[in-house]
């Protein structure tokens, strides 16, 4: 398996990963976009070779996340009653899947031990021959590696919503934890912007200043359809703020988010 990649559809996150070289989709994300209220029931209707489970490291420990294969994705789309399902399927098949395959991570043949050993020898020889230049060039690379190490502690609001769903199953079984409610609570806590605005789900200035979030810039699409999107990643501080507020309400038997009367 490879690490999970995030793609943005409208204001929703759709995460993908490669399983045995084949592109797969996180089931909860598809069900959320397709309006399938009960992912467990939807998955139960799929064939065994159309679904599986991926173990992900989270703040609360290892978490198992259900995924579906490309065939399973088509099955879920067909079960959706949302009129937008056809547009969503076209986005998956014309943008997401080609993008995954274009990255070179699709069905990559692993290198043999001998091939890798020869590569390492060549790399070492190059370092010895150009040591002074390599040390100078390495400075920005080291800074970039440090940035990625720090990013390992970040997570999306959808990730935290999935963790809340797992927590609620054991501690508040009657509670309904919807991704939309968690996003709305994040808006109430001034972590992200909500409402009908072009900046919907983007980080607030307060959240950035308080180090509750980091903003990740990604490029999706290609050619004339290429565009830059900004996605929010919670820091440990921001995740703790959102988690504590959600757990407090669930423990009190209250919904995570209640729309205020206008």
Residue spans per domain, the chain: 5-102, 113-144, 157-251
Phi and psi (nearest 5°) for 232?
-95, 135
Q: Which residues contact 20 (CB under 8 A, 6 or more apart)?
A: none
d(CA 213, CA 169): 27
Q: Is the pTM here over 0.85, yes or no?
A: no
- The tens-digit pLDDT sequence of the chain (262 residues) is 567 888 888 778 888 888 888 888 999 999 988 888 888 888 998 899 899 998 877 666 777 889 999 888 888 988 888 888 888 888 888 878 887 776 644 333 445 656 656 666 666 666 666 665 655 655 544 443 333 334 446 888 998 999 999 888 888 888 889 999 999 999 999 999 998 888 888 999 999 999 999 987 767 666 777 776 778 899 989 999 999 999 999 988 899 988 765 5
Q: What are the CA-CA distances from residue 17 to residues 54, 181, 190, 235 (Å)? A: 9, 26, 31, 23
């Amino acid at each position: 398996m490879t690490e999970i990649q995030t793609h943005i559809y409208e204001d929703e996150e759709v995460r993908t990963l490669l399983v045995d070289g084949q592109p797969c989709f996180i089931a909860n994300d598809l069900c959320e976009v397709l309006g399938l209220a009960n992912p467990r029931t939807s998955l139960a209707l799929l064939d065994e070779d159309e679904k599986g489970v991926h173990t992900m490291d989270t703040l609360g420990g290892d978490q198992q996340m259900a995924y579906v294969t490309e065939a399973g994705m088509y099955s879920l789309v067909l079960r959706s009653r949302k009129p937008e399902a056809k547009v969503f399927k076209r986005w998956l098949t014309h943008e997401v899947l080609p993008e995954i395959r274009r990255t070179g991570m699709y069905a990559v043949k692993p290198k043999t031990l001998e091939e890798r050993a020869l590569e390492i020898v060549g790399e070492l020889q190059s370092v010895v021959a150009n040591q002074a230049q390599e040390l100078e060039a390495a400075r920005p690379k080291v800074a970039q590696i440090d940035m990625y190490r720090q990013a390992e502690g970040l997570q999306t609001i959808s990730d935290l919503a999935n963790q809340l769903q797992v927590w609620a199953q054991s501690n508040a079984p009657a509670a309904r934890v919807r991704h939309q409610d968690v996003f709305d609570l994040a808006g109430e806590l001034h972590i992200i912007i909500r409402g009908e605005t072009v900046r919907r789900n983007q980080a607030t200035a307060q959240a950035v200043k308080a180090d509750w979030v980091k903003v990740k810039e990604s490029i999706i699409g290609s050619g004339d359809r290429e565009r830059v999107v900004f996605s929010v990643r919670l820091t440990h501080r921001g995740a703790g703020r959102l988690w504590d507020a959600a757990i407090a309400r669930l423990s009190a038997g209250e919904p995570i988010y209640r729309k205020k009367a206008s």
